[in-house]
A = this chain, B = another copy of it.
Amino acid sequence: MCLSGTLEDKLTAAAAAGFDGIEVFEPDLIASPWSPAELAVRCADLGLSIDLYQPFRDLDSTDPVRFAANLRRAERKFDVMGALGVDTVLVCSSVAPDAVADVDQLAEQLSTAAARAELRGLRIAYEALAWGRHVSTWDVSWDAVRRADSAALGLCLDSFHVLSRGGDPAGFAAVPGEKLFFLQLADAPQLTMDVLQWSRHHRLFPGQGAFDLPGFLGAVLTAGYRGPLSLEVFNDVYRQSDPARTAVDAMRSLQWLEEALALADPAAGLHRPPAAPQLSGWSFTELAVDGVSGPQVGEALAALGFTHTGQHRSKPVQLWEQEAARVLLNASVVRAGAPGEAAVSALGLESSDPQRSAVRAEAMSAPVLPRTRGATEAELSAVAAPDGTEVFFTRTGPDGWPADFLPTGAPPAAGAGLTGIDHVALAQPFDAFDEAGLFYRAVLGLEPQQVTELAAPFGLVRTRAVTGPDRAVRLTLSASSLRRGGWAPRVPEPQYLAFATDDVVATAERLRAAGAPLLRLPENYADDLEARFDLPADLLAAIREHGLMYEEDVHGACLQLATEVLGDRFFVVVVQRLGGYDGYGNADAPVRMAAHRRQRRAAAVSR
């Protein structure tokens, strides 16, 4: 149930992502034209074991007639298990009105069922559903299993059911390892809602949510569990996303989890990929441009104080520089957008060990990109992020990537006070939002920050930052909260590149003098700032004059400006962080979005 599609789609995706086995969930089997024996053959062909079967719920019953019917049903499912070649069946705590409350009676019924299973060489893993009628916590399920005292009966632990109820994994130590039959893992965001709805719609892969999965898994392994790690993630988005992508995301979550556990307990001897080398900053950001957007962006960069300093040795790529801010304009990107578009196509990140960064990325299931390079050009390792953006691991220096560029000899511009890249903001495909957070976390060692939601003019937008430990690298990832349809523009909000300045007012003055295409903001916005904050008169005047935005967080404040949209889906922001401001101008984003919409509509009308 982690994957979308038919059973055939799911098996193919799981095998391709490198999984060793699967659980068979009854609805998939019932809807499949394959008999259980045919399914077993198909799994064997793909190198997948069948590790668990989930054929029904609500086994126990206070009604003897009902319990007898349930046992009869179980026997038929044991037949199916024989054909599937699986030896463990999941039985969840009952949610039915006739569920058994008395733990001794429950133990007796479980023991009866386990005896039937044992005759077939099968075993039952009993699991407490968080919303079970009488058994809703793992310790009560263990109490029943312990009392049943049957070799063919053990526990299935599920991290969601335990952690959503605030269960303490430390208690697993009391359970003998051989009674831990199965382990299901799921993360989740911390939500305050009905636990059944939380479980059915909002589960996530480990590392994507708020639960302490490394701590949970560590406790289970310490208790002696040695079976498979199975992912059971009910998630509305994954239910309808490309299963091949979801399966890779799922595999990455286990790779991340294994590493997190290995770091917490080096003595456990778990496999560890090479640690993510520290990323000390931005080497460059590359924009894909064409014959229309290239000159438009180049002209804007010139007005922003950049100098066209280099030309790539073998490709139509320009290097533009201002202090530590470097932008590549690449006219040869294959996956470029519509004609006239400019879009962020690659991130160059300064790695202390580019080669090791690439090896680690590959160990975290990141797709490594093939490189074509000239004989004298630098070796550049790159992987593809979930949205297709190429991530380069680089070193800036005479022996690094700049060696690929021949100097243009252009005299350096005076500059506009931009000192480097503050952050890069990438609009994500709807399906990739959670996947992207885990990708940057596991592959690059960046830390996902809190998800916040913006009330944008055409619908809610979720956004989160992923950041390096000293904020030398900051990225923001945004996506619509609901996939957009007919009315709201389907195209993502534009991406942007935010440059840092130490004095945004001085920068704004220079940019206006140079004719940079600065975005105009409504007077009402500045009027509201004046009502909300006690700002100095000269700052307020500058805000009004230059279309600056101002907001505060608990640490400090931020002044920023934006350009108009360039090449249809890209713009530039200039940010001055005051005090310890640690945000991304989210409060002002809706005003900026509406202003960009007006600008683009006006441009569309004038075309």
CB-CB nearest in chain B for A72: B531
A390-414: which residues lie under 8 A (CB-CB) from chain B? none
| A76-B531, A240-B458, A458-B5 known; A482 vs B483 contact (CB < 8 Å) | yes
A598 interface hit (Cβ, 8 Å): yes
A61-96: which residues lie under 8 A (CB-CB) from chain B? 69, 72-73, 76-77, 80
A444 interface hit (Cβ, 8 Å): no
| A194-B192, A460-B236 known; A483 vs B481 contact (CB < 8 Å) | no
Contact present for A69 and B534 (CB under 8 Å) = yes
Contact present for A4 and B193 (CB under 8 Å) = no
Give CA–CA (A239, B242) in the complex, Å. Answer: 27
| A26-B528, A35-B523, A240-B487 known; A597 vs B6 contact (CB < 8 Å) | yes
CB A89 to nearest CB in B, in angstroms, measures 13
Give CA–CA (A528, B20) in the complex, Å. Answer: 27
Give CA–CA (A189, B531) in the complex, Å. Answer: 38
A524 interface hit (Cβ, 8 Å): yes
A46 interface hit (Cβ, 8 Å): no
CB A534 to nearest CB in B, in angstroms, measures 7
CB A373 to nearest CB in B, in angstroms, measures 32
Contact present for A30 and B591 (CB under 8 Å) = yes
CB-CB nearest in chain B for A489: B240
A484 interface hit (Cβ, 8 Å): yes
Contact present for A487 and B591 (CB under 8 Å) = no
CB A266 to nearest CB in B, in angstroms, measures 40
Contact present for A485 and B483 (CB under 8 Å) = yes
Contact present for B31 and A236 (CB under 8 Å) = no
Residues of B within 8 A of A525 (CB): 30-31
Contact present for A431 and B522 (CB under 8 Å) = no
A376 interface hit (Cβ, 8 Å): no
CB A585 to nearest CB in B, in angstroms, measures 14
Interface bin, chain A:
35 or more
21 contacts between A and B (CB under 8 A): A4-B457, A5-B487, A6-B598, A30-B522, A30-B525, A31-B457, A31-B522, A31-B593, A32-B524, A32-B594, A77-B531, A191-B194, A192-B193, A193-B194, A236-B482, A237-B482, A239-B455, A239-B460, A240-B488, A431-B487, A483-B483
| A482-B240, A482-B482, A485-B483 known; A31 vs B594 contact (CB < 8 Å) | yes
A98 interface hit (Cβ, 8 Å): no
A555 interface hit (Cβ, 8 Å): no
Contact present for A531 and B73 (CB under 8 Å) = yes
Residues of B within 8 A of A597 (CB): 6
A581 interface hit (Cβ, 8 Å): no
Contact present for A76 and B455 (CB under 8 Å) = no
Query: Which of B455, B482, B594 is the one whose CB lies under 8 Å from A6?
Result: B594
Give CA–CA (A596, B32) in the complex, Å. Answer: 12
Query: Which of B430, B460, B481, B593 is the one whose CB lies under 8 Å from A485?
Result: B430
Contact present for A241 and B485 (CB under 8 Å) = yes
Q: What 1/0 mask marks residues of chain A from 419 to 434 whose CB sits below 8 Å from any chain B CB?
A: 0000000000111000
Contact present for B240 and A459 (CB under 8 Å) = yes
A7-36: which residues lie under 8 A (CB-CB) from chain B? 26-27, 29-36
A178 interface hit (Cβ, 8 Å): no
Residue among A522, A523, A528, A593 facing the most chain B CB atoms (10 A cut-off): A528
A450 interface hit (Cβ, 8 Å): no
Contact present for B36 and A524 (CB under 8 Å) = yes
Residues of B within 8 A of A197 (CB): 191-193
With A4-B457, A193-B197 given, can you name 8 additional A-B contacts, CB distance below 8 Å? A4-B458, A4-B488, A30-B524, A31-B593, A77-B531, A240-B458, A240-B487, A483-B484
Q: What 1/0 mask marks residues of chain A from 472 to 494 whose CB sits below 8 Å from any chain B CB?
A: 00000000111111111000000
CB A543 to nearest CB in B, in angstroms, measures 13
Query: Which of B30, B69, B241, B481 is the one whose CB lies under 8 Å from A236?
Result: B481
Contact present for A480 and B240 (CB under 8 Å) = yes
Residues of B within 8 A of A353 (CB): none
Residues of B within 8 A of A80 (CB): 527
CB A564 to nearest CB in B, in angstroms, measures 15
Q: What 1/0 mask marks residues of chain A from 525 to 536 whose CB sits below 8 Å from any chain B CB?
A: 101101110100
Closest 6 pairs between A and B when the two form their complex, measured CB to CB: A240-B459, A193-B193, A76-B531, A31-B594, A192-B194, A242-B487
CB A484 to nearest CB in B, in angstroms, measures 6
Contact present for A455 and B191 (CB under 8 Å) = no
